[in-house]
Amino acid sequence: MEKQLTGTLALAVFTAALGSLQMGYSLGVINAPQKVIERHYARSLGVYNEELARSEGGNTTEHEEPTDASVVMYWSLSVAIFSIGGMVSSFLVSFVSDIRGRIKGMLFINVLAITAGLLMGLAKMGTPYLMVIAGRAIMGLYCGLSSGLVPLYIGEISPVKYRGAMGALHQLAIVIGILISQVIGLDFLLGNDDMWHVLLGLSGAPAILQSLLLLVCPESPRYLYIKLGKVEEACKSLKRLKGDYDTSKDIAEMQAEKEEAMNEAQMSILRLLRSSVYRQQLFVALMMHLSQQFSGINAIFYYSTSIFQTAGVGQPVYATIGMGVINIIFTLVSVVLVDRAGRRTLTVVGLGGMCCCAVAMTVGMAFQDVYTWMSYLSMAAIFLFVSFFEIGPGPIPWFIVAEIFSQGPRPAAIALAGFCNWTCNFIVGMFFPYLEGLCGSYVFVIFAVLLFGFTVFTYLRVPETKGKTFEEIAAVFHRKRGAPPSKPQEEAEMVQLKSSTEA
């Protein structure tokens, strides 16, 4: 009898999610010690005024801000290079996952994470700005690959009944990583002059643990059976993941997917972009990732400290950590609800709720100088905004791409979606400060309009994938496209794709 949930499955999902934890830590770690790192950059560049610092009370003064253009440039590069690394490496997800396999792929990319951690951890011994920038670039390369490999592996090994909950663990691990970086980045822990390099160096620590655990994790049965044709190994992997049971049903499902994969051929990114067969799936996948990044969630984290200060919070950093806790709580809510309420329902509720919160935030910030209580409305809107994000729009885009594509185009689709996500992340990070300067307190009107559009799109165009096999989900898109009338054209395109691959 199939047990569905086993210790080996739990270990495999936990091990994969360590890559997501590392990504979250790397996303959040650079913010807390900004002023400390800028001082070290200034010293290294020879533009730091030691006498002025001593007269203002030493290195810990909060008022000292290195304003030298070179310091600002190198700091901006330290932040931005991470997203650029993710954008570049996301295109390699398909190559790494198919050539090396899911397990070996994750093992291979851990070399990048450990190298990045060492570079940043040893930054005080060399030239800080060069070593931190190099470390952040390499860590970005790692995270771009990890953000594709982790959801791919978890999606392929998860039982249909729990696939949504396990897929949401990727986002849960990310927000836990962000919170850990915020907590240990406090100035009395590691976010200070003496320990900042250790704080950054710890970015590579989860990779060491993950590398050890990956050695005992089973390879994806779908990869073994569909990609490599190793039936016995796929059966062994299924039994390790789900217990000692009759694997014939799962093998039959994979066989059906393999036959379709043989017809559709292996998809490169370029072929996927050109193919009309998968246009609807690709459009949905990219829009889901656009809705995640253009929802304004990163802007919220940018704006939160000033709003908390206006509301009279003595230590805004603790309020920001409180937001991190809410992140985790509501991602856990998503883990519980995603296989009950469904992906589409949670995404629509999440995006709609965020739209209302963006309007409330705009009103609160516009009138907080007139009515003091309006700042509390802004605070409440921020916390609710984050809550709605983690219920659906945060976790679901990461794993729904693996659900709506079959084995052939799946790695290429995940690579494209990852590139879209990282690019949008970079755009928001680069241009939000300019938007905020231009629009002031009304900047969230832009996000409210975008969120309304994303909500309508999700309601009208995104199908429910809860409890469906990969084949059943593909059939939904075939029906939406009007498959029966266009079948000959589709088959002709498949044959053309396959012959060009063989050639």
What pLDDT shows up at residue 206?
95
**pLDDT tens sequence across 69-122:** 788 788 888 888 898 999 999 888 888 888 878 999 999 999 999 999 999 999
**pLDDT tens sequence across 33-54:** 778 888 888 888 887 665 445 4
Residue 394 has pLDDT above 80, yes or no: yes
497 — pLDDT class (breaks 50, 70, 90): very low
500 — pLDDT class (breaks 50, 70, 90): very low
Q: 179 with 23: CB under 8 angstroms? A: no
3-state secondary structure of 395: coil
Q: 4 with 242: CB under 8 angstroms? A: yes
pTM: 0.82
**pLDDT tens sequence across 304-332:** 766 777 666 667 778 888 888 998 999 99
In angstroms, the CA 33 to CA 345 distance is 39
Residue 167 has pLDDT above 70, yes or no: yes
109 token code pair: 């990319």
Q: Which residue has the tokens 């729009």?
A: 393
Q: 58 with 32: CB under 8 angstroms? A: no
What pLDDT shows up at residue 460?
93
What pLDDT shows up at residue 289?
94
What pLDDT shows up at residue 72?
79
Region 468-489: what's the mean pLDDT?
65
344 — pLDDT class (breaks 50, 70, 90): very high
501 — pLDDT class (breaks 50, 70, 90): very low
In angstroms, the CA 335 to CA 410 distance is 23
Region 376-391: what's the mean pLDDT?
91
What pLDDT shows up at residue 180?
94
